[in-house]
Amino acid sequence: KAGVTQTPRYLIKTRGQQVTLSCSPISGHRSVSWYQQTPGQGLQFLFEYFSETQRNKGNFPGRFSGRQFSNSRSEMNVSTLELGDSALYLCASSRQTGFGGEKLFFGSGTQLSVL
* 104 is a contact residue toward another protein (CB under 8 A): yes
Q: Distance between CA atoms of 83 and 73, rounded to whole angstroms?
A: 27
Q: Which is nearer to another protein, 60 or 106 (CB)?
A: 106
The footprint of another protein on residues 57-86 (CB under 8 A) is none
Tell me which stretch binds another protein (CB under 8 A): 12-20, 67-75, 76-84, 101-109: 101-109
Give contact residues for another protein (rule: CB under 8 A): 4, 42-45, 48, 55-56, 90, 92, 97-104, 106-109
